[in-house]
Amino acid sequence: MNILITNDDGVYADGIFELANKVKAIANVYVVAPDSEKSAIGHAITIHNPLMVKKVNFRNTDIDAYAVSGTPADCVKLGIEAILEDIHIDLVLSGINNGPNLGTDVIYSGTVSGAMEGLVQNKPSIAISYDGKNISSKEYEKGAEYVVQFIDKIKDNLTMLDDTMININIPDIRDTKINGFKVTQLGIRRYENTFEKRIDPRGNIYYWLGGKTVELEQDENSDVTAIKNGFIAITPLKYDLTHYDRIGRIMKEIQPLDI
């Protein structure tokens, strides 16, 4: 099995290293990741500037790793279509992210978008995030072990991911006992945003975005609830955002068409 790994924290982040280092025990691993942090960049791709690529020493391992001056989606697209074009990639992984990607976070997440681009490229794809702060290599390593377990469980049935990617969120093992895997739906994440107004040395106004998560009532089957209850949340996602239940209703409202 050949696995392409990317992330949005950058090729030198601890999360991607621990993931790649564990996964290489079960597959041939190739790392193509941003050369710097690209968190919350969503599914952006680079079309107005060239993508610079540099092969890097991946902490003295034998893993082929490339740093790209682009986004996670760039890395997956470029990795599959150019850098690794002679290698058949069987699975795309994105992570392990520093912090969770739950509920509506997936819209903004570079980590989830890296895996979603894998799906666009017709590859089985999994995004992995760790719910914690000041995460050490030890926690990432343990998280990667759970990912390897999950891959081992589904590796013979990857066709179930033909039109679906998996978003995995791992609870902070320092504070929570892991109770197993739980298949979930997206919860609701809202933020109490603050825009701090500042002035630069030249007198120009700029704003710095901050804020905190708002605690909301969640469905018992949501990824947010699963994480709080000590489960590793496994959420199937797709890129078809069509609201099919609304098609007929909207057509009824706009008929007849006055053209």
The CATH number of residue 170's host domain is: 3.40.1210.10
DSSP state of 161: G
- The tally of CA atoms less than 13 A away on the side-chain side of residue 209 is 4
Q: Can you tell me the mean pLDDT for 93-107?
A: 96
| The two structure tokens encoding residue 84 | 């690794």
Would you list which residues are annotated within the binding site?
Answer: 8-9, 39, 97
| 86 in any annotated domain | yes
| 8 in any annotated domain | yes
| 206 in any annotated domain | no
| 253 in any annotated domain | no
Contact 114/6 with Cβ under 8 angstroms? yes
Q: Can you tell me the mean pLDDT for 26-50?
A: 97
d(CA 34, CA 222): 30
DSSP element (H, E) containing 89:
none
Return the pLDDT at 203. Answer: 96
| 18 in any annotated domain | yes
Q: Can you tell me the mean pLDDT for 236-259?
A: 90
Q: Can you tell me the mean pLDDT for 106-124?
A: 98
Would you list which residues are annotated within the binding site for a divalent metal cation?
Answer: 8-9, 39, 97
CB within 8 Å of 229: residues ≥ 6 apart: 179
Return the pLDDT at 259. Answer: 67
| The two structure tokens encoding residue 35 | 């050369």
| 247 in any annotated domain | no
Q: Can you tell me the mean pLDDT for 167-176?
A: 93
Name the pLDDT band for 211 (thresholds 50, 70, 90).
confident
Q: Can you tell me the mean pLDDT for 171-192?
A: 93
pLDDT, the chain, mean: 95
Domain, as residue range, for 14: 2-184+219-240
The count of structural domains within the chain is: 1
